[in-house]
């Protein structure tokens, strides 16, 4: 049997067939014409969140199309769809930070120096008052810190620690400023 890629889930369709899908493919496939009512980035991020929920929170490898579409619909239900009659909104400031760069800058990828450096980067970026603060390269960062060439349990643990750390930083700063945190 061929191993399923880490960025894929098996989607069980109506005929009982299981098809491997990534979050990108699922969001486009399941949303269909309704995709036009939301900004593409909103759908993409909601699909990634639902994908993460099934794969990591519930530990599932197989999901039915109905389950996934229901969860995606629930995730999108609280959001306002893009309105064509409304005046266009000015672009919201989105700031990105590269986690891999931070890991390599932290004294050769040592965790002891990485987390204080990450907090410093978080605060510096937040001073620019972004509406979205995006940290990209989580997987590569965890592998750099672990000194691994392949994904291991240690990499997974470090990845989870980084996400928890960034969420804690966001919770501390949330009382002072309103922003969204995206970790990729």
pLDDT of residue 101: 92
Q: How many CB atoms lie within 10 A of CB 121?
A: 19
Could you tell me whether strands 132-136 and 94-98 are parallel, antiparallel, or unpaired per DSSP bridges? parallel
Candidates 126, 114, 120, 113; CA nearest to 170 is 126
Residues 23 and 51: their CA atoms lie apart, in Å, by 6
3-state SS of 92-132 is CCEEEEEHHHHHHHCCCCCHHHHHHHHHHHHHHHHCCCCCE
Q: If you average pLDDT over every residue of the chain, what do you get?
A: 77
174 vs 3, higher pLDDT = 174
Look at 77-81, 119-123, 177-181 and tell me which has the smallest mean pLDDT. 77-81
As a whole number, mean pLDDT of residues 139-153 equals 91
Could you tell me whether strands 62-64 and 132-136 are parallel, antiparallel, or unpaired per DSSP bridges? unpaired
pLDDT of residue 4: 61
Instruction: Give the Å distances, CA to CA, from 145 to 56, 103, 108, 130, 175.
Output: 21, 6, 8, 27, 31
Residues 181 and 12: their CA atoms lie apart, in Å, by 31
Q: How many CB atoms lie within 10 A of CB 5?
A: 9
Q: What is the pLDDT of residues 46-102, one digit of tens each?
A: 777 877 788 777 888 787 877 877 777 777 776 655 454 444 445 567 889 999 999
Residues 56 and 28: their CA atoms lie apart, in Å, by 21
As a whole number, mean pLDDT of residues 2-13 equals 68
Which pTM was predicted?
0.53
């Amino acid at each position: 049997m061929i191993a399923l890629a880490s960025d894929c889930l098996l989607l069980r369709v109506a005929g009982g067939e299981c098809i491997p899908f990534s979050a990108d493919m699922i969001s486009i496939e399941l949303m269909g014409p309704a995709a036009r009512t939301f900004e593409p980035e909103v759908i993409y991020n909601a699909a990634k969140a639902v994908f993460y929920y099934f794969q990591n929170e519930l530990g599932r490898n197989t999901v039915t199309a109905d389950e996934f579409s229901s969860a995606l619909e629930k995730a999108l239900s609280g959001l306002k769809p893009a309105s064509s009659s409304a005046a266009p909104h000015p672009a919201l400031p989105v700031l990105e930070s590269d986690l891999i760069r931070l890991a390599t800058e932290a004294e050769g990828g040592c965790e002891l120096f990485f987390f204080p450096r990450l907090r410093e980067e978080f605060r510096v970026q937040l001073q620019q008052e972004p509406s979205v603060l995006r940290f990209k390269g989580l997987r590569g960062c965890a592998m750099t810190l672990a000194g691994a060439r392949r994904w291991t349990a240690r990499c997974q643990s470090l990845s989870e620690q980084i996400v928890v750390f960034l969420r804690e930083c966001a919770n501390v700063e949330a009382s002072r400023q309103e922003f969204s945190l995206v970790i990729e």
